[in-house]
Structure 1
């Protein structure tokens, strides 16, 4: 399609910047603060946007301001256009990790934070001291909306849904193992299926539900288990296991880490469980952002280093894939 330069010249680009902020914040006050305007100026800008698009765009609602269907349809094209313009005016070859000043918000499970966090922080302090991290516990029910609202730069975890503008890249694959204290349960690896269902279990669930992939696998063979504790914290699990006669089923890499640290034992799970894929998730509008792309490459490299440093030999290998894909495959939440 040919560009009508005369018609396009009548459009103030700042209106699109304001629209993006309004749709992200759904509040005139917060949007004004986000782009550095006064509240009255943002109200006037909203009026100009309504005239430009011949639509109310945002209407008052009990919870704040609610976008109209027209506004929802504009959200992604406007965000993508602004990111592309930003990439055009920035010189990509001028990006230097040593001098960049940036805050990255990353949502991730605490198990991934334990394994990758120390290496990432050490690397940033040495190579990119101006980069700061805001780490948050991931909420799988909200992560897509948080990415769309530009509240999170990157999500890390097990993802099973998304839209075309949500991009995903594999960090590593892992498998489930059992973590236990042999002094508390009186068992040695490998644990039998009979002992596995005889002892109570700890379930880690980010959604707070007392049912996981282990329960599904046991149900297929006509068995069940007793859940003693359900917790959203992977980091708490080894300490619970250390002091009580219980079994935890968790990802092998973090289980081996805690076993070596706290003197616990690891056993193959005596029930068939699918491997898990831990991935990075981000909004497609950040594809061409040099700092964001650098962070993704850094995390991929550090994930490979974690694999190389793993001395247990019991984990599945980390195999970063060379391509980036949209999310379309189905899977299970990371609950065991």
Structure 2
């Protein structure tokens, strides 16, 4: 469709910025603060947006403001338009990681943060010192919403799947092993299934439910295990294992790191478990953002997925 320049010139395109902030924050006060204008100016912008779209767009609700169905349908296309405008005016073909000033918020489990965080920080300080990271715990139930509202730039998790407007990239695959204190349980690897089930277990669950992949695998062969403790934090597991005669079933990379550091023992798991995929998700509107794309490439490389074997400096291919 041809652009009607006369009709488009009648519209204040700054209103789209206000609409994006309002739909993200769902609060006039927070939306005003987000784009640096006064609350009265944002209220005026909302009134103009309602006339422009002939819809309330947001209505009052106990928790703040709630988008109308029309408001919800506008959120994605408005965000995409604003991203494209931003790309046009930034001259980002000249992107240089050594000169960029940018903050990225990444949500991820503490296990991935422990494995990748130190290497990522060291690399960024050496090659992109203007990039700052805000790392926060991943919440699987809210991750997609946080990506959609721009509260998170990247979400990292296990077997992550998004919607049509999210992009996904594998970081790494991992297997499972058992972790235990050999002196406390009196076992040496490889341990048998009977020995595995003779001791109570430590379960790590980000959903804080007392059921995991091991329980599903055991159910298939008509067996069960006893749980001693369930925790959402991977980093506490080796200290629990070191303190009592219990067994933990963990991702192999992390368990091996713990075993080497704390003198614990790892063993193959005596029940069949599928490998786990650790992936990152991002909003499709950031797909061609050079800084975002560069950071994704760095994460893939540091995670060990080096199939493309590309240099870690300025990388312009899709990430």
The aligned residue for residue 290 of structure 1 is 290
Tell me the C-alpha RMSD between the 2 structures. Answer: 1.5
CA contact (8 A) 1:170 1:320 kept: no
Alpha-carbon deviation of 1:159?
3.6
Q: TM-score, normalised by structure 1?
A: 0.90
1:205-220 alignment, distance < 5 Å: 205-220=205-220
Gaps in structure 1 of 5+ consecutive residues: 305-317, 326-336
The aligned residue for residue 187 of structure 2 is 187
Q: 1:269 to 1:320 in 2, by over 3 A?
A: farther
1:108-119 alignment, distance < 5 Å: 108-119=108-119
- Larger deviation: 157-166 or 189-198? 157-166
- Write the distance in 1 (CA, Å) between the matches of 2:166 and 2:33: 27
The aligned residue for residue 82 of structure 1 is 82
- Write the distance in 2 (CA, Å) between the matches of 1:288 and 1:25: 24
CA contact (8 A) 2:160 2:280 kept: no
Q: TM-score, normalised by structure 2?
A: 0.95
The aligned residue for residue 103 of structure 2 is 103
Alpha-carbon deviation of 1:319?
6.4
Q: Cα deviation per residue 1:269-305 (whole Å; 9 max; x = unaligned)?
A: 100111111011100000111110010011111112x
- Write the distance in 2 (CA, Å) between the matches of 1:81 and 1:321: 31
Q: Cα deviation per residue 1:297-322 (whole Å; 9 max; x = unaligned)?
A: 11111112xxxxxxxxxxxxx56689
CA contact (8 A) 2:162 2:281 kept: no
- Write the distance in 1 (CA, Å) between the matches of 2:103 and 2:161: 26
- Write the distance in 1 (CA, Å) between the matches of 2:137 and 2:164: 24
Asked if 1:277 is matched to 2:277, the reply is yes
- Write the distance in 2 (CA, Å) between the matches of 1:134 and 1:70: 33
- Write the distance in 2 (CA, Å) between the matches of 1:250 and 1:70: 45
The aligned residue for residue 149 of structure 1 is 149
Q: 1:171 to 1:285 in 2, by over 3 A?
A: same
CA contact (8 A) 2:167 2:284 kept: yes
- Write the distance in 1 (CA, Å) between the matches of 2:50 and 2:108: 38
The aligned residue for residue 123 of structure 2 is 123
- Write the distance in 2 (CA, Å) between the matches of 1:290 and 1:264: 43
- Look up the SS of the partner of 1:235 in the other structure: helix
1:240-251 alignment, distance < 5 Å: 240-251=240-251
Alpha-carbon deviation of 1:91?
1.2
Q: 1:223 to 1:321 in 2, by over 3 A?
A: farther
Alpha-carbon deviation of 1:100?
1.2
Gaps in structure 2 of 5+ consecutive residues: 310-316
Q: Cα deviation per residue 1:112-162 (whole Å; 9 max; x = unaligned)?
A: 111100000011111111111100010001000000000000011114432
- Write the distance in 2 (CA, Å) between the matches of 1:289 and 1:2: 27
- Write the distance in 2 (CA, Å) between the matches of 1:321 and 1:43: 50
- Runs of 4+ residues deviating >3 angstroms: 318-325
User: Which structure ranks higher in relative contact order (CA pairs < 8 Å, sequence separation ≥ 6)?
Assistant: 1
Alpha-carbon deviation of 1:324?
7.8
The aligned residue for residue 263 of structure 1 is 263
Q: 1:263 to 1:214 in 2, by over 3 A?
A: same
The aligned residue for residue 166 of structure 1 is 166
The count of corresponding residues between Structure 1 and Structure 2 is 312
